[in-house]
Amino acid sequence: MIQIENLHKTYHSGFLMKPKLALKDVSFHVDAGQVYGFIGPNGAGKSTTIKVLTGLLNFDSGKVLVNGVSPRDVKSRTFLGYSPEQPYFYDYLTGRELLKFYGRLVGLDGAELDSRIGWALELLHANKDWIDRRLRSYSKGMMQRVGIAQAILGRPKLLILDEPMSGLDPMGRRDVREAIQELNRDGVTIFYSSHLLSDVESISHRVAMIVDGKIVREGTIDEITESCGVEYHVRTRQAILAADLPEGVTPAGHPQECVCADDAARDRLLGFCLQNGIAVEKMDHKRPSLEDILTEEIARAES
């Protein structure tokens, strides 16, 4: 559905048009039917990548295909829905008028348009009286819901959402999360960026992590977290002296607990316990969270 290979994008700013490389050799694929999370710190290149995909930004080099078509081609947007970060709309219109305007632009009209607007508003729990008020009176959360509603009006095959949960309260976040999952169950591929890593972990099939314009991790949540190593926390019936612990195993603060840095260390500890008749009471494996990995990658990029 999305194919990005060796994408480079440079911004030129200031009077002297000073260049700044915003995307450096970005490559990843999004298959049809996936919920794909795109994470990274502020200014890492998430919105730039999204704007390249939606044809709003040109790029220096690389290959970008959306549904098999270059985003420079209008056809690439036929089956695309997009909601920008902090969506801004014509504030002299009401929410419903705005949806009618965008609906007509994607080829809807008459009763079909009305029913599609009703469906989108229901999905986002936005079918309330405020939808007939002028947009200038909307809160950030209401704007976000209208933004997503306009993106899904045309029943897109690919939905691109830039920070869809920003500005939403917990209920709003839940509504948007559920809407994403429901749309995905209906076969819509969803590519979205977010700062809320817990939400990303809970709904994404795959994730790409971008730091300083480069993709630093890509894969399923399991693949990404496994690639950073898994720690094993082992609790034994009796205490083991620190000096006796095998290589790669360290005490965990409690005399009966220790931490194995990897699978090999875990095996060495289990072998030691068997040899010495020490019973293992409990063993947990702990993976780093996306947040841990992202923090680590940011620190690495800064260093």
Partner 1 sequence: MQSLKHIAIIAQNTFRESIRDKILYNIVFLAIALTLFSIVLGEWSVFDRSYVIKSTTLSVMSLSGLLISIFVGISLVQKEIQRRTVLTLLSKPISRAAFIIGKYFGLLAVVAVHLMILTVLFYLMLLVTGAEPTASLLTAIYLIFCEMAVVIAVALLFSSFSSTILSALFTLGVYFAGHLSDQLLEQVKFASRMGELNDSSSILLEKTAVVIHAVFPGLYRFNVTTYVVHNVALPDMYLLWNSLYALGYVGVFLAIASWWFSRRDFL
Which residues of the shown chain bind partner 1 in the complex (CB under 8 A)?
11, 51, 54-58, 74-75, 77-78, 80, 82-84, 87-90, 92, 101-102, 104-107, 147, 150
Of 166, 141, 160, the C-alpha closest to 48 is: 160
The Cα 83–Cα 188 span in angstroms is 15
Of 54 and 194, which has the nearer Cβ to partner 1? Answer: 54
The Cα 116–Cα 102 span in angstroms is 12
Of 46 and 266, which has the nearer Cβ to partner 1? Answer: 46
- Output the smallest distance, CB 3 to partner 1, in A: 19
Of 90 and 171, which has the nearer Cβ to partner 1? Answer: 90
The token pair that represents 260 in the structure block: 């194995």
- Output the smallest distance, CB 107 to partner 1, in A: 7
- Output the smallest distance, CB 64 to partner 1, in A: 14
Of 54 and 189, which has the nearer Cβ to partner 1? Answer: 54
- Output the smallest distance, CB 81 to partner 1, in A: 8
Of 49 and 150, which has the nearer Cβ to partner 1? Answer: 150
- Output the smallest distance, CB 106 to partner 1, in A: 6
- Output the smallest distance, CB 297 to partner 1, in A: 25
Is the distance from CB of 211 to CB of 301 less than 8 angstroms? Answer: yes
Of 84 and 164, which has the nearer Cβ to partner 1? Answer: 84
Of 19 and 271, which has the nearer Cβ to partner 1? Answer: 19
Quickly tell me which residue has 């819509």 as its tokens: 188
- Radius of gyration (C-alpha) of the chain in whole angstroms: 24
Task: Give the distance, in angstroms, between the CA of residue 259 and the centroid of all CA atoms in the same chain.
Answer: 31
| 209 phi/psi in degrees, rounded to 5 | -115, 125
In the chain, what's the furthest Cα-to-Cα distance?
A: 79
- Output the smallest distance, CB 142 to partner 1, in A: 15
DSSP 173-215: HHHHHHHHHHHHHTT-EEEEE-S-HHHHHHH-SEEEEEETTEE
Close Cβ partners of 87 (under 8 Å, ≥ 6 residues apart):
143, 144, 146, 147
